[in-house]
Amino acid sequence: MLEDELTVNIRHRDGVAIIDLIGDVTTFAEEKINGAYRQVTARGDRFILLNFRQNDYINSAGIAILIGIVTEVNQNGQKLAVSGLSPHFQKIFRMVGLAQYAEIYQTEEDALSAFKRLGAVE
């Protein structure tokens, strides 16, 4: 009844698939996030950025969804980064080990610069 309407947008910039996650990342987000990941993977994207909006709610169910994504990213030989997290959720991502598999950047621009150094091109 009170589930947040997570909005998931897919954009492409500088050879990077950017998945914007606008809203709460909880158990209700699973289908949308996994669907977006499947979509960019089917398109052949190698560089993927999960772009969060500061101060949204991410709980353990949401973190589990993201752990599932990083597992698939590793299996598929893709590169994943995250941006837009609040300092609190940056801490949580480091705590649970997600930061081992996805670099954390403050902003979308920072992440795109890093992907460019890894070989992402327009």
Partner 1 sequence: MQIILPSILGYEVIARDAVASLARRCGISPERVEDVKTALCEACTNAIEHGNRSDPQRKVQVLCTVDEQRLVIEVYDEGGSLPMLPRKPVQWTLEQRASLRGMGLMLIVTLTDEVSVVADPNDGTCMRLVFYRNLAGDSVSAS
Least distance from C-beta 48 to partner 1, angstroms?
A: 21
Token pair of 90, please? 């940056």
Least distance from C-beta 118 to partner 1, angstroms?
A: 25
Token pair of 34, please? 């996994």
**Per-residue x/- mask for partner 1, residues 17 to 46, rule CB under 8 A?**
-------x-xxx------------------
Per DSSP, 43 falls in state T
**Per-residue x/- mask for partner 1, residues 47 to 86, rule CB under 8 A?**
----------x-xxx-xx--x------------------x
Q: Which residues of 69-99 are buried (b: 16+ CB within 10 A; e: fewer)?
A: bbeebeeeebbbbbbbbeeebbebbeeeebb
How many whole angstroms separate alpha carbon 19 and alpha carbon 11? Answer: 7
Least distance from C-beta 34 to partner 1, angstroms?
A: 15
Q: Which residues bind partner 1 (CB under 8 A)?
A: 1-4, 24, 26-28, 57, 59-61, 63-64, 67, 86-88, 90-92, 94-97
